[in-house]
Structure 1
């Protein structure tokens, strides 16, 4: 039985680098993660992912490819649908949900304190985009 997502995030790639934000709120305050958030009533996961990217980092995304579903119990149970894309416009402008951002190259992730399984998620996201 497949779970229905109530949150979405996006791995936005520019070349080999991926956009990460440092979380300014719980859960995982201070950890590096993908931008995203909870679905609003009536939204699909892709709609929420696109909205969250505009709100959190100021980027408009398209061509979202599903990567995986992740289940978390922190801050209330939620099911996160992770997407990946290379198609975006705009420049990064953070809102209050992120304290910093960086474009991270493969291999540099080990230097950062990240949300759970981010390394695995990014490997899967790259594989999904490489198949497109």
Structure 2
């Protein structure tokens, strides 16, 4: 069975990436992009905006597709993850901001934070995350304007 998921790539004004530490399987305790399953009838953009708000408290606007990966899940499930750039929503109240303000971890996220590229070498990340971020040149890309 395939499960469609989305992830949000959000960079702040200092070029730091928004990550969450997973509080539940898969990947419990590991840092990853915020995101999750696309609900029935929901667009990818709607799913990104909902998931980031639930997991980080940050209201965002979804942007362009960065890339897609597949990850194995339990009992033969394959997670098909579509990662999109996103930017903080202009004028929207949020627990975080583009300058790296306070975030509120929620839903299945145990923690949320902003990290520079060099920080990622020292963090326990979900499998393959660093490789795809580098391949997609995330730290050289621009997100969307809110």
TM-score after normalising by structure 1: 0.85
What is aligned with 2:73?
74
Alpha-carbon distance in 2 for matches of 1:22, 1:78:
18
What is aligned with 1:120?
131
Answer whether contact 2:49 2:62 (CA < 8 A) is retained: no
TM-score after normalising by structure 2: 0.78
CA RMSD of aligned residues (A): 2.1
Aligned residues: 128
Alpha-carbon distance in 1 for matches of 2:53, 2:65:
18
Alpha-carbon distance in 2 for matches of 1:96, 1:60:
15
What is aligned with 2:23?
24
Unaligned runs of 5+ in 1: none
Alpha-carbon distance in 2 for matches of 1:107, 1:121:
15
Answer whether contact 1:6 1:78 (CA < 8 A) is retained: yes
Alpha-carbon distance in 1 for matches of 2:30, 2:120:
12
Answer whether contact 2:22 2:110 (CA < 8 A) is retained: yes
Which 4+ stretches in 1 moved above 6 angstroms? none
Alpha-carbon distance in 2 for matches of 1:5, 1:28:
16
Per-residue Cα deviation, 1:26-76 (whole angstroms, up to 9, x for no partner): 001100001100010011212111110111111111141210111111232
Alpha-carbon distance in 2 for matches of 1:96, 1:41:
19
CA pair 67-5 structure 1, distance change in 2 beyond 3 A:
farther
Q: CA deviation at 1:5?
A: 7.0
What is aligned with 1:44?
43
Answer whether contact 1:8 1:37 (CA < 8 A) is retained: yes
SS in 1 for 2:118: coil
Answer whether contact 1:8 1:83 (CA < 8 A) is retained: yes
Unaligned runs of 5+ in 2: 96-102
